[in-house]
Amino acid sequence: MKSVDSTIDLPALYHSMLRIRRAEEAIANRYHEQQMRCPVHLCIGEEAIAVGVCASLTTPDVVYGNHRSHGHYMAKGGDLNAMIAEIYGKSTGCCGGRGGSMHLIDNTAGFAGAVPIVGGTVPLAVGAGWSFKLKEEERVAVVFFGDGCFEEGVLHEAMNFAALKKIPTIFVCENNGMSVYTPLTDRQPVRSISGIARAHGLGVYTGDGNDIFEVAHLAGEAIAQARSGGGPQFLEFKTYRWFGHVGHEFDDDLGYRPDETPQFREDRCPLKRAEAALSQNYGWQDGDFSAIEQRVKEEVEAAFQFTFDSPEPNPNTSGDHTYAE
Ligand SMILES: Cc1ncc(C[n+]2csc(CCOP(=O)(O)OP(=O)(O)O)c2C)c(N)n1
C-alpha cells in the first residue's frame, strides 16, 4: 500500500468501492433467478481503478466504459436504481430496459456510455475530448478498457490522433492479464503495453490497480496534465478479475488461471487494503465499518426494490430509438 496521501479522501473512496462490490455481489446472488435476461461481466476485484480515476473528475467530465462497466458507471455517479433496472430490462432502466448490463449511460452524471464492442468507445472518448479542446472547455474525457482492447487497431489510431491534436483524453487500461480465457502472454509479444502508448506520444503512468492510493494519486496527476493542456495521457493499472469473464460465478475449476484461489484474490483485494489503512491511519473501529456496510446494504436493497416495483417496457415502444424498423 502506498503511503497515505492527505489529498485523498479514503473514507469516500472506500464507500464508493464498497457500493460497487455490494451491488455486484447482489447481482451475482440473484442471477440464478433468471430475471436478469442479459449477460453480466462483473468487475469485483477491480473496483479501485474505477473509483481512483473518477475521484479526480468533475461531473462535466465524461467517462466511457466497455462491457464490464458497472463500476465505471457507479464511480462516475451513475444512478444505481437505473442501472439495476436496466439489467432487469425494466422501463425505468437507464436505457429504458433495452440494453442490459453492457449498455449503461447516465448523461446527468457524465457517464457517456458503456458499449460491448471491444474498443468501440475509444474513438468516442477522443471525439469528446477534441470537442472540449475546440470549445476551450477545461473538461476531460476518460475511457476505460482492458488489455484485450490493446489488440484493436482503433485504439492505436485513436492514440495517434489524440497525440497529434493534443486532445484531453485519458486512456485507462485495466490490465487483468486476460481476454476471456486467453492470457496476455498468448496474445501479445513480451513488451510493455504502456511503452507502446509512450511511443504514440502519450504521457504514461503505470501502477498497482488494486491499491486505491496509487490509482488515485497517479490518475490525479494524469488528469491534471490533460486538463491543463498536456495532451492525452495513458494509465495502465495491473489488476485481477475475481469472477469468470462473464457470469455470476468463480471459475476456479476451469484451470486457465493457475494462481486462482480464494487466498490469491484476498491478498489482492482493494477493499481489504483500504480497510487496513482506515483502521491504521483513520482510527476506524468495528462500528465505523458496520455503519457504512449498513448504509450501502440499504441503498442496494432499495435499488432492487425500485426495480421490482418498476413496470416492464411497453411493447408498443419496441421500435423507438432504432435506426431502422
Ligand atoms: C470487437 C470485439 N471483438 C470481440 C469481442 C468479444 N469479447 C467481449 S469481451 C472480450 C475480452 C475483452 O478483454 P479485455 O479487453 O482485456 O477486458 P476484460 O474482459 O478483461 O475486462 C472479447 C474478446 C467483442 N465484444 N468485441
Q: How confident is the model at residue 35 (pLDDT cuts 50, 70, 90)?
A: very high
Which of 68, 118, 152, 257 has most ligand 1 atoms within 8 Å of its beta carbon, as the pocket-test mutant? 118
Mean pLDDT of 213-219: 98
pLDDT tens track for 252-275: 999 999 888 999 999 999 999 999
Decide: residue 158, CB within 10 A, 0-12 exposed, 13-18 middle, 19+ buried. buried
What is the per-residue pLDDT for 192? 95
Q: What's the grid cell of residue 106?
A: 447516465
| Mean pLDDT score of the chain | 96
Mean pLDDT of 93-98: 96
190 lines ligand 1 (CB under 6 A): no
Distance CA 258, CA 188 (A): 19
What is the per-residue pLDDT for 300? 98
What is the per-residue pLDDT for 321? 78
Give me the DSSP letters along 31-82: GGGS---S-----TT-HHHHHHHHTT--TTSEEE--SS-HHHHHHTT--HHH
pLDDT tens track for 315-325: 999 888 777 65
Q: What's the grid cell of residue 242?
A: 475475481
Instruction: Give residue 151 CA to ligand 1 midpoint distance, Å.
Output: 10
Q: Is the pLDDT of residue 2 over 80?
A: no
pTM of the model: 0.97
Cross-strand bridge partners of residue 142: 63, 170
Residues 299 and 80: beta-carbon distance below 8 Å: yes
Q: Is the pLDDT of residue 42 over 90?
A: yes
Q: How confident is the model at residue 4 (pLDDT cuts 50, 70, 90)?
A: low
Mean pLDDT of 167-177: 98
Which of 42, 145, 172, 180 has most ligand 1 atoms within 8 Å of its beta carbon, as the pocket-test mutant? 180
What is the per-residue pLDDT for 68? 98
Q: How confident is the model at residue 7 (pLDDT cuts 50, 70, 90)?
A: confident
Which of 46, 67, 143, 173 has most ligand 1 atoms within 8 Å of its beta carbon, as the pocket-test mutant? 67
116 lines ligand 1 (CB under 6 A): yes
Spacing of C-alpha 130 from chain mean position = 22
Residues 214 and 2: beta-carbon distance below 8 Å: yes
Identify the residue whose C-alpha is closest to ligand 1 atom 6.
118
Q: Is the pLDDT of residue 54 over 90?
A: yes
Strands 62-64 and 111-113: what pairing? parallel
What is the per-residue pLDDT for 325? 54
Distance CA 117, CA 106 (A): 19
Q: What's the grid cell of residue 29?
A: 446472488
DSSP for residue 311: P
- 249: CB partners within 8 A, 6+ apart: 28, 243
Instruction: Give residue 103 CA to ligand 1 midpoint distance, Å.
Output: 15
Which atom of ligand 1 is closest in space to residue 174's alpha carbon? Answer: 21
Q: What's the grid cell of residue 223?
A: 488528469
pLDDT tens track for 57-93: 999 999 999 999 999 999 999 999 999 999 999 999 9
Instruction: Give residue 149 CA to ligand 1 midpoint distance, Å.
Output: 7
Residues 213 and 281: beta-carbon distance below 8 Å: no
Write out the E strands in the chain.
Answer: 62-64, 111-113, 141-146, 169-175, 178-179, 182-183, 203-208, 233-238
What is the per-residue pLDDT for 248? 96
Task: Say what percent of the chain tops pLDDT 90.
Answer: 94
Q: Is the pLDDT of residue 232 over 80?
A: yes
In the chain the domains, ranked by start, together with CATH numbers, are 10-241+253-306 (3.40.50.970)
Distance CA 322, CA 162 (A): 31
Instruction: Give residue 135 CA to ligand 1 midpoint distance, Å.
Output: 33
Residues 76 and 111: beta-carbon distance below 8 Å: yes
Mean pLDDT of 299-306: 98
From residue 59, how far is each of 56, 77, 111, 138 by CA, in Å? 10, 8, 9, 12
pLDDT tens track for 110-165: 999 999 999 999 999 999 999 999 999 999 999 999 999 999 999 999 999 999 99
Strands 178-179 and 182-183: what pairing? antiparallel
118 lines ligand 1 (CB under 6 A): yes
